[in-house]
Amino acid sequence: MRPATLITGASSGIGAELARVFAAHGDELVLVARREADLSALASEIAASGGKQPTVLALDLGRGDAVARIAAELAARDLEPANVVNNAGFGLAGSSAALDRDEQLAMIDLNIRALTALSLAFSDSLVRHRGGILNVASIAGFLPGPGMAVYYASKAFVLSFSEALYAELKPRGVRVTTLCPGPVATGFQSRAGLRPGGIGEGSIFALPARRVAEIGYAGFVRGKRVVIAGTGNKLAVFFMRFVPHALLLPIVAYGMRRAGRV
């Protein structure tokens, strides 16, 4: 079977840029997201630029049978993952008690359950190809987030789970890297209910999606455990260690109130 790099949430933002970066380095791609038209346009762009024609799988990762469907589609095309890039996810801004509970549970399904399932589903092929897993978390995973409580908690899970998986799979020759970007101008903000530029965009913490993808890819290839994108974000995470949560909580809450509809 041919090795491929599976990328979720590949229709836009960081996911689309990761697809372009992996393709530029010769990987055959399997692009997964709900928006088929956007995936097809990206696949055509990659092929036109000299990359291998990507496979497009338009499906909802929130479905319970999503991983089984992906596995079946890959097998039918004589493909198996050498790398898995879990980028799909979304956030919701607001008080958890006021936000729609079903939407918040759907966030957990996508940000946590689907990522976990895909991280574990193809371990045999990852070992065979000495490939790896690149899980996209956030600097939000390093602290509690009143105003986006479930989202921050979901990224804390991604960070903790991926670091543990790094230790478990490294002896088998499989890389596991967690990419932690800060603010990036993508469709994430509008989906979350944040005003444009509300979370640090235009600041020293913000990077374009392409740069985040390049940093993430470089760290993944080197086998780094955690990659924090951008000097400003590295400094922020470093200093967070010395700030008690009793002080962090109101700071984050204030920032969220300024950023959106909290």
pLDDT above 50 for 141: yes
Q: Which residue has the tokens 């409580």?
A: 149
Catalytic residue among 151, 152, 166, 217: 151
The answer to whether 151 is a known catalytic residue is: yes
Whole-number Å distance between alpha carbons of 193 and 202: 19
In this prediction, residues 2-18 reach a mean pLDDT of: 97
Report how many domains make up the chain. 1
| Residue 238 domain boundaries | 2-259
pTM (two decimals):
0.92
pLDDT-based confidence at residue 199 (cuts at 50, 70, 90)? low
Q: What is the DSSP letter of 143?
A: S
pLDDT in tens, 146-167: 999 999 999 999 999 999 999 9
Question: Within 49-83, where are the H helices?
Answer: 66-76
135 — pLDDT class (breaks 50, 70, 90)? very high
CA–centroid distance for 15 within its chain: 7
**What pLDDT is attached to residue 200?**
52
Mean pLDDT of 11-24: 97
What CATH number is given to the structural domain containing 91? 3.40.50.720
Please give the average per-residue pLDDT across 24-46, as a whole number: 97
**What contacts 68, CB < 8 A, 6 or more positions away?**
none
Tens digit of pLDDT for each residue in 251-262?
888 888 877 644
Please list, in sequence order, all residues whose beta carbon lies within 8 angstroms of the beta carbon of residue 154, skipping any fewer than 6 positions away: 89, 107, 108, 111, 112
Cα–Cα nearest to 180, from 253, 133, 237: 237
Per the structure block, which two tokens stand in for 92? 């919701």
